[in-house]
Amino acid sequence: MGEKLLNALNIDKSFVGVHALNQVNFSLSSGEIHCLAGENGSGKSTLIKVISGVYAPDSGEIEFNGRHYQKMTPIEAINQGIQVIYQDFSVFPNLTVMENLALNSELADKRKWVNWKRIREIAEESVKKINFKVDLDALVGSLSVAEKQMIAISRALMFNTKLIIMDEPTTSLTKKEVHRLFEIILKLKEQGIAILFVSHKLDEVFEISERFTILRNGEIVGTGSTKELDQKKFSYYMTGREFNPSHFIPEHIEKDALFEARNISLEKHLRNISFELHKGEILGITGLLDSGRSELALAMFGAKQIDEGQWYKNGEPVRLDSVRDAIGQNIGYVPEDRLSEGLFLPQSIGDNIIISEIDKLTKLFGVMDKDKKEKEIDHWMKELSVASPLASNACQTLSGGNQQRVVLAKWLACNLDILILNGPTVGVDIGSKHDIHAILQNLARQGLGIIIISDDLPEVLENCSRLLVMKNGEIVANINTSTSDEKTIYSYML
Amino acid sequence: MKKTPKLLSFTDDLHIRRLTVIIFGWMIFIALTKFSKFYSLLNFQTMASQFPEFGLMSLGVMVTMITGGIDLSVVGIANLTSILNAFILLRFTDEMGSLPPGMILLVFALAVLIGALAGIFNGLLISKFHIPPILATMGSGELFTGICLAMTNGNAVSKFSRDYAQTINAKMFSIIPVQLIIFAVMALIIWFLLSKTSYGTKIYLLGTSSKAAYFSGLKVDTLIIKTYMLSGMAAALGGMIMLANYNSARADYGTVYTLQCVLIVVLGGVNPIGGKGKISGVVLAIILLRMLETGINRFPKISSYYISLIWGGVLILVMVLNYFSEKKVPAKVTEVPKDGTEKKD
């Protein structure tokens, strides 16, 4: 390992009423891969922003590359070789790959005229650094998430970079893509670049990083070599609580199918899908990102119309041609992208909970029954322990885990028979993830048919009693989770 | 849960508080400079009979903007309604120059119907054909104006019975102008729909995210059609007041109102992206604009040509104030002192 590159001493930072960082000491060497972990609100983002110059610390000192700073400015940070790759990658979807790659250096050089040849050269050079093969003339908006990330990384490498900070880089990547990202990170390490990797996924922390630092409530609760870390310690550091993961064992599965798909086909996405869901079980569906798992979810919820096949509920054929059809059949759907599809973020928690059953909470002529509405909101906030003092607070004030509870509450309020969840704990911290799993297992025991679609294999193994593996639009395996393991499942996926 | 009394919750809203302050500020300024020319019962009555025509249209624009859309066809709908009804009134005016009993109620009912149909037309264009609201209503507004021009050759339709204008221009209890009452009734109906019914909650949520609304099982298309229908009805009533105020109807009356309505609605605190806004804010903005214009008219040295300039100024001022007050709410971002940032070893 190289010499000390970054040394943050006694960093303190408060926002109105919140002590975001409390006497944090943090150090990093050249060529080190360091994982910064912590639940939402633990202060990791604040720490990144202090290091990259976005926030000035209230007290403390930063030493970078042998120079001392009371505070950084963003420009100074970039000049010194600190690059941050945020979750949204800050790329321009409407421009080509080439333009995206060259824009920063063009701007930095204050060039007034466009020279396409030079732009192409710059772009070619930058993708070569990480052996990234891509059509330079493609629009960035048409690329996959992983490719956008590669572009952000290539771009970050163009400035004599010494430290790259990646904010939850694996959130929307598939296993394969994560693997590829890690290869690139290792390559960067060889070049002496330090990587600060922000994540709360344990397997990643183990796989890639040499050292770790875990923050909780603005304080460092654990730091050291990753070798000394294990699952239990990690969860404890993250949450301050001890967990015992409990494999879901269904108590009573009814013999007759609650829901059935027979020979469902959807052009290009789904081929001849057939399966049954029984009352009381949790059925998992997994597969790579383009395996058709999301299309199947949307088709079950009526958001995508199938070309062939038939759905059955309680043995009767049913049509699921629209979202309203599905809701009419008491099917609920927790979407993949909670923020844009599942929630109305600036609106109140209360309205978010009752929106799907709102027509049942009215008196004559659609006039709201205020008492009934408040009772319903109160009931669901307590039932799912949504942590907020007021139901009239905006939904965006909640943490990821609590937001997901609101989405769950919205559907449970509709008195469902079947609940479909697509990536139910993406972006949710460990504590809430555990709680959401417990809620789902409990609901299944009460007789709700649950389908979890996820590529988080530990999650499906823990919670589902049966697992369907999808590949290229087909179901390639139907697995009993109590007798299987990640490796077997993974071999079906590829 | 804590409950704040109605009056307090009214002033809880920063935006509304600010509009109120601006109105009072202006009223004090006028009181100090042109007291006698502004503070008379007659002047207030005049203002109250003038603002309902564009006030009603603004209410229409407001509801569509809450869904994340806009209605630029309000003036077209208003003129179409007033011209069609002017023809009808003309037809039923007898030699004595009077109207059969109940005729006025009938034309109002007809106006609401015409407005509703025009609004449904807009709603269909937007929901079923996925035309962006700004283009759909701009197009339909031109279409309605075009129909008006074709029917009238651009001439005014007048010479119908004075009974109509006299009835609408009358004062209830000889104090309150009838126009104001029509406006107040419509404003109350919309307030009720927005804050007391499931329809209101749904359109606020639809305006916040149409994607999430779809995934929540809302009938998005129906909601959009209903909203533009409501907007059309409000605009049509505005047209009926124009018909009374001018005692005639013409295809190009009120053309400045289109943008003025948008200005009022934004001034009133409705988020142009959708999902946010209160009717109290819009009503205050309507009153503010009318008072500003009337007040300025009391200064003979200020030409009425300056009015656009002043309106633009007020709009930008309020938006800038909004920017600062909205920035203050989330956690403070650090200020960056310019010196002493760095010391070298």
CB pairs under 8 A between A and B: 100
- Give the whole-angstrom CA distance, residue B73 versus residue B148: 13
Q: How far is A41 from chain B (nearest CA, A)?
A: 13
Asked if residues B137 and B57 have their Cβ atoms less than 8 Å apart, the reply is: no
- Give the whole-angstrom CA distance, residue A429 versus residue A436: 10
Domains and CATH numbers, chain A: 4-239 (3.40.50.300), 257-493 (3.40.50.300)
CA distances (Å), A474 to each of A263, A271, A450, A459, A480, in order?
A: 10, 5, 20, 22, 18
**Which residues on adjacent β-strands are paired with residue A278?**
A257
The answer to whether B198 contacts A333, with C-beta atoms less than 8 Å apart, is no
Interface with B, mutate which of A301, A347, A353, A382 (most B CBs under 10 A): A347
* A373 interface with B at CB cutoff 8 Å: no
* A343 interface with B at CB cutoff 8 Å: yes
> In the prediction, which pLDDT does A367 show?
87
Chain B residues near residue A66 by CB distance under 8 angstroms: 345
- Give the whole-angstrom CA distance, residue B84 versus residue A421: 55
User: Minimal Cα distance from B329: which residue of A?
Assistant: A16
> In the prediction, which pLDDT does B2 show?
40
A487 contact partners, CB below 8 Å, separation of at least 6? none
Q: Which of residues 71-110 of A touch B (CB under 8 A)?
A: 71, 73, 76
Q: Are strands A474-480 and A466-471 parallel, antiparallel or unpaired?
A: antiparallel
CA A208 to the chain's CA centroid: 18
- Give the whole-angstrom CA distance, residue B133 versus residue B125: 8
Q: Which two tokens stand for residue B186?
A: 């419509």
The answer to whether B275 contacts A347, with C-beta atoms less than 8 Å apart, is yes
DSSP characters over B160-202: S-HHHHHHHT-EETTTEEHHHHHHHHHHHHHHHHHHHBHHHHH
**Nearest CB to A366; choose among B199, B211, B276:** B199
For residue A380, count other CB atoms closer than 10 A to its CB: 22
Q: Are strands A331-334 and A18-29 parallel, antiparallel or unpaired?
A: unpaired
The helix/strand/coil state of A199 is coil
Helix then strand count (H, E) for chain B reads 14, 3
CA distances (Å), A380 to each of A305, A350, A409, B264, in order?
A: 32, 9, 6, 39
Say yes or no to pLDDT of B282 above 90: yes
- Give the whole-angstrom CA distance, residue A265 versus residue A23: 58
- Give the whole-angstrom CA distance, residue B148 versus residue B143: 9
Q: How far is B339 from chain A (nearest CA, A)?
A: 11
* A69 interface with B at CB cutoff 8 Å: yes
> In the prediction, which pLDDT does A88 show?
74
User: Minimal Cα distance from A58: which residue of B?
Assistant: B334
Chain A residues near residue B68 by CB distance under 8 angstroms: none
CA distances (Å), A370 to each of A373, A374, A403, B198, in order?
A: 5, 6, 23, 11
Which stretches of A41-192 are assigned E, i.e. beta strand? Answer: 59-64, 67-69, 82-85, 163-167
Q: How many residues are recorded in chain A?
A: 494
Q: Which of the four pLDDT bands, split at 50, 70 and 90, describes residue B341?
A: very low
> In the prediction, which pLDDT does A85 show?
87
Q: How many residues are recorded in chain B?
A: 345
ipTM value:
0.78
Say yes or no to pLDDT of B66 above 90: yes
AA letter at B284:
L
Q: How far is B181 from chain A (nearest CA, A)?
A: 24
Q: Are strands A316-318 and A331-334 parallel, antiparallel or unpaired?
A: unpaired
For residue A237, count other CB atoms closer than 10 A to its CB: 21
- Give the whole-angstrom CA distance, residue A351 versus residue A478: 39
For residue A301, count other CB atoms closer than 10 A to its CB: 24
User: Minimal Cα distance from A72: which residue of B?
Assistant: B341
Q: Which of the four pLDDT bands, split at 50, 70 and 90, describes residue B8?
A: very low
The answer to whether B212 contacts A367, with C-beta atoms less than 8 Å apart, is no
> In the prediction, which pLDDT does B60 show?
95
The crossing angle, in degrees rounded to 10, of helices B220-246 and B178-196 is 170
- Give the whole-angstrom CA distance, residue A460 versus residue A482: 11
Asked if residues B78 and B141 have their Cβ atoms less than 8 Å apart, the reply is: no
Say yes or no to pLDDT of B345 above 70: no
> In the prediction, which pLDDT does A459 show?
86
pLDDT mean across residues, chain B:
85
| pLDDT, averaged in runs of 10, over chain A (494 residues) | 78 78 87 84 84 87 85 83 83 87 78 83 83 84 83 83 86 77 87 85 79 86 83 78 73 83 88 89 87 89 89 90 90 85 89 88 84 89 83 83 87 90 81 85 89 87 89 87 81 80
> In the prediction, which pLDDT does B327 show?
58
Q: Which of the four pLDDT bands, split at 50, 70 and 90, describes residue B335?
A: very low
Asked if residues A38 and B315 have their Cβ atoms less than 8 Å apart, the reply is: no
> In the prediction, which pLDDT does A37 show?
86
Q: Are strands A219-225 and A211-216 parallel, antiparallel or unpaired?
A: antiparallel
Secondary structure element (H or E) that encloses residue A167, with its range: strand A163-167
> 3-state DSSP helix/strand/coil percent for chain A, to nearest 5?
40, 25, 35
Q: What are phi and psi of B278, to 5 degrees?
A: -120, 150
Q: Which of the four pLDDT bands, split at 50, 70 and 90, describes residue B203?
A: very high
Note the pLDDT tens digit of each residue in B253-268. 988 888 889 889 988 8
- Give the whole-angstrom CA distance, residue A137 versus residue B338: 41
Alpha-carbon Rg for chain B, nearest whole angstrom, is: 22
Domains and CATH numbers, chain B: 13-326 (1.10.3470)
The answer to whether B1 contacts A390, with C-beta atoms less than 8 Å apart, is yes
Asked if residues A468 and A448 have their Cβ atoms less than 8 Å apart, the reply is: no
> In the prediction, which pLDDT does B338 show?
35
Q: Helices (DSSP H) in B67-161: which residue ranges?
A: 74-92, 103-127, 133-152
Q: What are phi and psi of A251, to 5 degrees?
A: -80, -45
> In the prediction, which pLDDT does B343 show?
33
Highest mean pLDDT among A128-142, B101-115, B149-163, B311-325: B101-115
> In the prediction, which pLDDT does B284 show?
93
Q: To the nearest whole percent, how much of chain B has pLDDT over 90? A: 47
The answer to whether B197 contacts A362, with C-beta atoms less than 8 Å apart, is yes
- Give the whole-angstrom CA distance, residue B28 versus residue A184: 68
> In the prediction, which pLDDT does B332 show?
32
The more confident residue out of A269 and B236 is B236
Q: Helices (DSSP H) in A231-292: which residue ranges?
A: 231-239
Asked if residues B231 and B63 have their Cβ atoms less than 8 Å apart, the reply is: yes
Specify the pTM.
Answer: 0.76
- Give the whole-angstrom CA distance, residue B204 versus residue B199: 9
Q: How many C-alpha atoms does A90 have within 13 Å on its Cβ side? A: 12
Asked if residues A253 and A278 have their Cβ atoms less than 8 Å apart, the reply is: yes
Chain A residues near residue B215 by CB distance under 8 angstroms: 301, 303, 323, 333, 335, 341-342
Asked if residues A311 and A318 have their Cβ atoms less than 8 Å apart, the reply is: yes
